[in-house]
Amino acid sequence: MTRITVSAILLLFVVFKTHAQVRPIRKEFLGPTSKNVLVASHRAVHHQLPENSLPAIREAIRLGVDIVEIDVKVSKDGIPMLMHDGKVDRTTTGKGNLETQTFDELRKLRLLSNGKVTEETIPTLEEALQVAKGRILVDLDLKTEQIDKVIEVVKKADGREFVFFFDSDYEILSKVDDASKKYMLMPRAYSQAMADSALTRFKPEVIHIDSKFYTPEVTSLIRNKGARIWINALGAPDEEIRKGNVSETLKNLTKQGANIIQTDEPEKMIRGLRELGLHR
């Protein structure tokens, strides 16, 4: 056997092993009646690491998180990059709107972590998807109207297998849907009627709902139409988890049928869900 052949076999093994990591998560994600509750890490794992950074995504993978939520905007010269806020002031050493600055200008900035300057730069979406591919699902929160640029990067990364698009703007999601019916979608709904409309319009894989209309009627509607139910633990529920009230908080979050929870406390949530028999 030649050296080239051996190298090719080893490469195929690595590729297969890497993609095997995300397959059971994707299978669960596409199973709306599954009893397993999936955990989504908000802006990746950002307690000790910069939010929306590559190290924070890697940490989510290490912890066994199912979904990493990241935010995408587009630089002045058309490069999709990770950033939640309109301005870079809060999370970097720079100032001003990301979308009015070039990639080169933005790359000179350094990300902050708990107010301290790090050596990390603002990642591109392409870099983030390279880290996530085959290892974790990606909830792509669209913070831009330049959706064509984002779709280009997702297409290049073969992201249909592990990326789903989130927005409350249904016109933006329609552009994604028009680009390919194979892209996975998560519309946000603010009422039962809006959830029903989103289900009819997009036939999405998941619907993002709020606690104010988190009822058995809503969750039955969503599940019966083949979608998962996403709810946030951000804010008060996460604070209760930090205080140690994990079991009761998770029972309240899941009692009406939500089966994806976004949190700022992914490690604690995974541990708590496993103790309740609700996480693989």
Portion of the chain with pLDDT greater than 90, in percent = 90
Render pLDDT for 100-148 as a digit per residue (tens, 0 to 9): 999 999 999 999 999 999 999 999 999 999 999 999 999 999 999 999 9
| Res 39: pLDDT | 98
**Phi, psi (rounded to 5 degrees) for 265:** -125, 60
Beta carbons within 10 angstroms of residue 263's beta carbon: 23
| Closest-CA residue to 201 (of 169, 231, 159) | 169
DSSP character at residue 232 = E
Residue type (1 letter), 204:
P
| Closest-CA residue to 265 (of 230, 240, 228) | 240
Render pLDDT for 52-109 as a digit per residue (tens, 0 to 9): 999 999 999 999 999 999 999 999 999 999 999 999 999 999 999 999 999 999 999 9
Please give the CATH architecture assigned to the domain spanning 49-164.
Answer: Alpha-Beta Barrel (3.20)
Residue with structure tokens 């990067």? 153
Contact predicate 197/219, CB 8 Å: no
| Res 138: pLDDT | 98
Beta carbons within 10 angstroms of residue 206's beta carbon: 25
| Res 47: pLDDT | 87
Contact predicate 207/194, CB 8 Å: no
| Res 21: pLDDT | 86
Render pLDDT for 230-247 as a digit per residue (tens, 0 to 9): 999 999 999 999 999 999
Render pLDDT for 159-170 as a digit per residue (tens, 0 to 9): 999 999 999 999
Contact predicate 162/136, CB 8 Å: yes
Is a pLDDT exceeding 60 seen at residue 11?
A: no
Helix 54-63, helix 125-132: angle, nearest 10: 20
| Res 238: pLDDT | 98
Q: Across the strands, what pairs with 208?
A: 188, 230
Residues in CB range of 280: below 8 A, 6 or more apart: 24, 28, 36
Looking at per-residue pLDDT, the higher value among 48 and 274 belongs to 274
| E-state strands within 143-256 | 163-167, 184-187, 206-208, 228-232
| Res 234: pLDDT | 97
